[in-house]
Amino acid sequence: MQENSQHNVLSIEKSVPGRRALRFEKAEKAANAYLPTQFLREKAPRLPEMSELDIVRHFTNLSRLNYCLDSHFYPLGSCTMKYNPKAYDVLSNLDGFASLHPFAPQVAAQGTLELLYNLQELLKEITGLACFTLQPAAGAHGELTGILTAKAYFQAKGQHQRTEVIVPDTAHGTNPATSHMAGYQVVNIKSGADGCVDKEALQKALSDKTAVVMLTIPNTVGLFEKDICEIADMVHKAGALLYMDGANFNALIGVAKPASFGVDMMHLNLHKTFAAPHGGGGPGSGPVGVAAHLAEFLPKPLVEKKDGLFVFNENMPHSLGKMKTFYGNLAVCLRAYCFLRQYDADTLRQVAQQAVLNANYVRVALKEYFPAFFDRVCMHECVLTLQKEKMNGIRTADIAKRLLDYGFYAPTIYFPLIVPEAMMIEPTETENKESLDRFIEAMKSIFQEIVQNPALVHDAPHQQPVGRIDEVSAAREPNLHW
């Protein structure tokens, strides 16, 4: 217990005056002579004084407290937290890529430009779209790029009356935010009883004011829009564009090409589907693909091949401009390129099929305990809810915290908003049956605790360095310093 209690002790509290891990030569102290006086501190900062062994143990023990894919299963719905091959990390750190200066002339960056060009071609192949830009640095950044591309398209056509973007309630939350940022009025429509787009509601919302209809496919309740071809026809008859949020492409890769069911534009999250680790705000990459009639409005430059060389095409008079100072996120793009080159079409199809199988395996196994809100075959993720009459006052947040004691990271909870007490479970294709069975058994055990001893769940977690906190006070009066 004493050793475990040390996990809650800060390095400054372990400090012992005079203890050192490093000693600097006296000559280095003269660095102060090169700094203007006004930039020097009047009093030396209080820093931890620890031996090298103390430091190693301190940070090693802290790292053991982390939940990460290398040590735990992440059932983190809508984020595709799957295992990423370590070989890709090694390749992304190759000196020729990692040390390339962003201002290097194109002739000195042919290898990198070739990789980016080939990645564009691969993304075109798996989506069926005519043109891609790798410039956006994240999924939401890709959304904004796509919507601004649509705006440039309608401005060029003189259709300035198109001021609305239609977003269903099963879309990712960034969709309405992106539309608003782009200067559009957001029109929300409710889903039908089956969890998919209500076509009547969509038809009523469509008008000559509609610029874009944004659909998340599969949507946030893990369902494929079964009427997508009919919906695409409705959107196009209204003169609008159909945008697909491709953050959930892990369920479709190798199975379906969005262009084939009428999508005009979409973004992909390379840091989800395409094997680049993500979380904590980055790193990310959100390439945008468009149909041929929208290509000239994409941000410039585009990577093209001309006379045997790979070049940036800056000659795009109708482009919306630049979305990023430099071109994309190379390390993430490189990992995605490796992922697509390593697997053939059949294997990519198996990625989606296994992800769908895993999600449905969990859904069916937990049906009697935490039923799916929409009781039908799902795609890559299932959204479970609570049987309120059996919960003894326990809520989803309590279950999420109790899962930590069982060694599992908590799933996404309370999202999507249309599902009460939602738990969004996304196993991904990289988890094996044994891992899923352990998770399922943990959920069943928690259900039994709810029935027999709800206080045990309500007060969770019990085996973590920090127990149940007052979340309201933590949000309103955060202690941001020691």
Tens digit of each residue's pLDDT (9 = 90 or more) over 343-372: 999 999 999 999 999 999 999 999 999 999
What's the mean pLDDT in 380-391? 96
pLDDT range class, residue 268, cuts 50, 70, 90:
very high
Query: Would you call 181 helix, strand, or coil by DSSP?
Result: helix
At residue 280, the pLDDT reads: 62
Q: Tell me the β-bridge partners of 188.
A: 167
Tell me: pLDDT of 325 over 90: no
Tell me: pLDDT of 221 over 90: yes
Helices (H), 366-458: 396-405, 433-452, 454-458
Percent of the chain surpassing pLDDT 70: 95
CATH number of 100-342: 3.40.640.10
Tell me: pLDDT of 5 over 90: no
- Side-chain half-sphere exposure of 67, counting CA atoms within 13 A: 19
How many Å apart are CA 318 and CA 69, to the nearest integer? 43
Tell me: pLDDT of 459 over 60: yes
pLDDT range class, residue 474, cuts 50, 70, 90:
confident
What are the residue ranges of CATH 3.40.640.10 in the chain?
100-342
Structural element, H or E, at residue 412: strand 412-413
pLDDT range class, residue 29, cuts 50, 70, 90:
low
What are the residue ranges of CATH 3.90.1150.10 in the chain?
351-476
At residue 310, the pLDDT reads: 97
β-strands 241-246, 265-268 pairing: parallel
What's the mean pLDDT in 170-193? 94
Tell me: pLDDT of 326 over 90: no
Do residues 285 and 333 lie in contact, with contact meaning Cβ atoms separated by under 8 Å? yes
Mean pLDDT, the chain, integer: 92
Tell me: pLDDT of 2 over 80: no
Do you know the residue count of the chain?
482
How many Å apart are CA 149 and CA 319, to the nearest integer? 8
Tens digit of each residue's pLDDT (9 = 90 or more) over 429-458: 999 999 999 999 999 999 999 999 999 999
What's the mean pLDDT in 73-79? 87
Tell me: pLDDT of 28 over 70: no
Query: Would you call 133 helix, strand, or coil by DSSP?
Result: strand
What's the mean pLDDT in 109-130? 97
Residue among 283, 193, 294 at smallest CA distance from 243: 294
Tell me: pLDDT of 480 over 90: no
At residue 69, the pLDDT reads: 85
Sequence-ordered list of residues with C-beta below 8 angstroms from that of 407, at least 6 positions apart, any chain = 72, 442
CATH number of 351-476: 3.90.1150.10
Which amino acid is present at 38? Answer: Q
